[in-house]
């Protein structure tokens, strides 16, 4: 940055770069509370930055042909419950017949919602040489966007189209798993006549298990609900995990995900809102975005301001969002409806404010609150820059000698220590 830039513009402007990477001017920066952090980048923005082209629609060879096969099967066999325009009574209709009528308040339709989900499924269920590219799919979306329903769609698709399926529906508690994924799957099968015929009627839909039998009456595939209290499972072909953000002990997830090892086309599907940053969910997110995790697909959606334009569901209006913002306790609206990683931990005071309580003065002055606050903010900024620098050095694979001479890592290490 040239001399005098900070003095003239301060933090109100930032450089504007052209397509050739050169500075072409200045543009006003957003205030700190509205700046987009690395975590809060939409999938579309991230893919554009990484030059990742979205999967294009194509005609599937059969129902097992990856994302396109899944979409065709779902539209041919699944019925869903919706509220028709002008009615407060839900009806079950084929997925392929979702209405295109726009809601008079939000200007959106159920058809648009399904089309947006189809774009994600094409990438998530991509196959190469007859095998899934990803073995774990994570839908980390806001509340009311159909992530649990979509997770059930995917596992029902596997249940009816692959032989000898053992699919486990996992959750943190017995009640959670029974009232979320299992109830959704049961209702989908009972209210979808083609699926109910294939499963052999309601007699094969038990309290905690759904069975698919062959013509000789032998059980060919099962869907079973389990929880962290159910014990160890092994050699399963798929699983779902509902609201993993609330998981305190990762042992159950480790056992569940490890049970699909070495099994071709085994598939796990997780749906959840955001978690704290030391949780396994955030580890999956950062691993996928950084490219370290090769067999994990992570779809992350969030809202920056809680506006209805950020949501797919045609019933999610601004009035409803404003009511939830007012009714919910501190941090809960940001977690469930904005789905921002910064809200994963409900924190009244920032880390800097907490650290400031350890100091009674600065520069030989007692109770120098403003000075201490500025120094702690500067310390935080330095530490973040150091972490970025070290990460860049590691990625660029600089030799130790060059790193010490050119980038001063010894001084940085001393500062960190």
- pLDDT tens digits for range 203-241: 999 988 999 998 888 999 999 988 765 656 788 999 999
pLDDT for residue 141 is more than 60:
yes
State yes or no: pLDDT of 346 exceeds 70. no
Q: Is the dihedral of CA 253, 255, 256, 261 positive or negative?
A: positive
Q: Which residues contact 243 (CB under 8 A, 6 or more apart)?
A: 171, 172, 176, 180, 271, 272, 273
Can you tell me the mean pLDDT for 116-132? 95
The CATH code for residues 66-323 is: 3.40.50.300
- Is residue 12 over pLDDT 70? no
**Could you tell me if 160 and 242 are in contact, meaning their C-beta atoms sit under 8 angstroms apart?**
no
CA angle 156, 160, 141 (to 5 degrees): 20
| Average pLDDT over the chain, rounded to an integer | 83
Three-state secondary-structure class, residue 62 = coil
pLDDT at 142 over 90: yes
Kindly indicate the confidence band of residue 68, based on its pLDDT and cuts at 50, 70 and 90.
Answer: very high
pLDDT of residue 63: 96
Overall average pLDDT of the 151-176 stretch: 88
Confidence band (pLDDT; 50, 70, 90) for 6?
Answer: very low
What per-residue confidence (pLDDT) applies to 7? 43
Give pLDDT, residue 174: 56
Q: Percent of the chain beyond pLDDT 70?
A: 81
Q: Which of 69-73, 371-375, 412-416 bottoms out in mean pLDDT, i.e. has the lowest?
A: 412-416
Residue 156 has pLDDT above 50, yes or no: yes
pLDDT of residue 398: 60
SS3 162: coil
Mean of the pLDDT values across residues 279-307? 93
Strands (E), 236-358: 238-242, 267-272, 296-300
Q: How far apart are CA 302 and CA 333, in angstroms?
A: 12
Q: Which residue has the higher pLDDT, 251 or 50?
A: 251
Per-residue pLDDT, averaged over 23-52, amounts to 66
Distance CA 162, CA 266 (A): 10
Beta pairing partners, 94: 79
Whether 11 has a pLDDT exceeding 60, the answer reads no
> Cα separation of 281 and 286, whole Å?
9
What's the rounded Cα separation, in Å, for the pair 15 and 26? 5
User: And the tokens for 154?
Assistant: 């995917």
Sequence-ordered list of residues with C-beta below 8 angstroms from that of 124, at least 6 positions apart, any chain:
67, 134, 137, 297, 299
Beta carbons of 195 and 281 less than 8 angstroms apart: no
In degrees and rounded to multiples of 5, residue 100 shows phi and psi of -100, 5
What is residue 342's three-state secondary structure? helix
- pLDDT tier at 178 (50, 70, 90 boundaries)? low
Q: Please report which confidence band the pLDDT of residue 345 belongs to, taking 50, 70 and 90 as the band edges.
A: low
Per-residue tokens: 60: 């599937």
The two structure tokens encoding residue 223:
């869907």
| Residue whose pair of structure tokens reads 């305190």 in the numeric block | 248
pLDDT in tens, 74-86: 999 999 999 988 8
Residue 113 confidence (pLDDT): 96
CA distances to 125, 312, 337 from 132, rounded to whole Å, are 6, 27, 31
Least confident of 13-17, 89-93, 321-325: 13-17
Q: Which two tokens stand for residue 159?
A: 């249940």
Q: What is the dihedral of CA 80, 71, 159, 129, to 10 degrees?
A: -170
pLDDT for 229 equals: 58
Residue 212: the pLDDT is 94
The rounded distance, in Å, linking the Cα atoms of 129 and 64 is 12
pLDDT at res. 96? 95
Strand partners, 126: none
State the Cα–Cα distance between residues 177 and 246, nearest whole angstrom: 13
Whether the pLDDT of residue 37 is over 90: the answer is no
Once rounded to an integer, what is the mean pLDDT over residues 62-73?
96
Q: What is the pLDDT of residue 350?
A: 67
Least confident of 57-61, 99-103, 169-173, 276-280: 169-173
Q: Determine the average pLDDT of the residues in 176-184.
A: 75
What's the rounded mean pLDDT across residues 358-363? 82
Question: What pLDDT does residue 344 have?
Answer: 57
Task: Give the mean pLDDT of 176-182.
Answer: 70
How is residue 205 written in tokens? 């839909």
> What DSSP letter does each residue of 283-312 carry, written as one string?
HHHHHHHHT--SSEEEEE---SS--GGG--
pLDDT cut 90: percent of the chain above it: 51
**Contact status, residue 289 vs residue 46, Cβ threshold 8 Å:** yes
Residue 247 has pLDDT above 90, yes or no: no
């Amino acid at each position: 940055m040239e001399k005098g830039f900070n003095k003239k513009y301060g933090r109100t402007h930032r450089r504007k770069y052209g397509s050739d990477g050169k500075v072409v001017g200045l543009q006003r920066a957003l205030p700190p509370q509205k700046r987009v952090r690395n975590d809060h980048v939409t999938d579309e923005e991230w893919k554009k930055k990484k030059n990742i082209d979205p999967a294009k629609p194509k005609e599937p060879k059969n129902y097992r042909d990856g994302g396109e096969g899944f979409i065709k099967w779902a539209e041919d066999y699944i019925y869903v419950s919706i509220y028709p325009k002008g009615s407060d009574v839900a009806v079950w209709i084929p997925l392929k017949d979702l209405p295109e009528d726009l809601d008079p308040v939000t200007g959106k339709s159920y058809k648009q919602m399904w089309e947006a989900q189809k774009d994600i499924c094409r990438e998530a269920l991509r196959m190469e040489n007859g095998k899934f590219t990803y073995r774990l799919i994570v839908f980390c979306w806001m509340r009311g966007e159909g992530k649990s329903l979509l997770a059930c769609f995917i596992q029902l698709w596997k249940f009816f189209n692959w032989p000898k399926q053992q699919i486990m529906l996992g959750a943190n508690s017995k009640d959670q798993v029974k009232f979320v994924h299992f109830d959704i799957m049961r209702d989908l099968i009972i209210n979808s006549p083609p699926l109910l015929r294939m499963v052999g009627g309601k007699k094969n839909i038990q309290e905690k298990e759904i069975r698919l039998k062959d013509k000789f009456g032998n059980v060919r595939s099962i869907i079973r609900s389990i929880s962290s209290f159910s014990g160890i499972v092994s050699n399963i072909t798929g699983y779902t995990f509902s609201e993993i953000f609330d998981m305190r002990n990762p042992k159950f997830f480790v056992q569940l995900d490890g049970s699909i090892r070495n099994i071709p086309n085994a598939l796990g599907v997780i749906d959840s809102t955001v978690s704290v940053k030391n949780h396994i969910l955030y580890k999956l997110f950062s691993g996928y975005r950084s490219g370290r995790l090769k067999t994990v697909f992570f779809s992350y959606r969030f809202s920056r301001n809680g506006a209805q334009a950020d949501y797919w569901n045609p019933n999610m209006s601004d009035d409803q969002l404003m009511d939830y913002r007012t009714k919910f306790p501190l941090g809960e609206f940001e977690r469930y409806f904005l789905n921002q990683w910064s809200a994963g931990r409900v924190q009244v005071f920032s880390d800097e404010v907490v650290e400031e309580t350890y100091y009674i003065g600065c520069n030989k002055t007692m109770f120098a609150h403003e000075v201490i606050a500025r120094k702690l903010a500067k310390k935080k900024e330095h530490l973040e820059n150091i972490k970025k620098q070290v990460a860049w050095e590691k990625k660029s694979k600089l030799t130790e000698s060059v790193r010490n001479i050119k980038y001063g890592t010894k001084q940085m290490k001393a500062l960190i220590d």
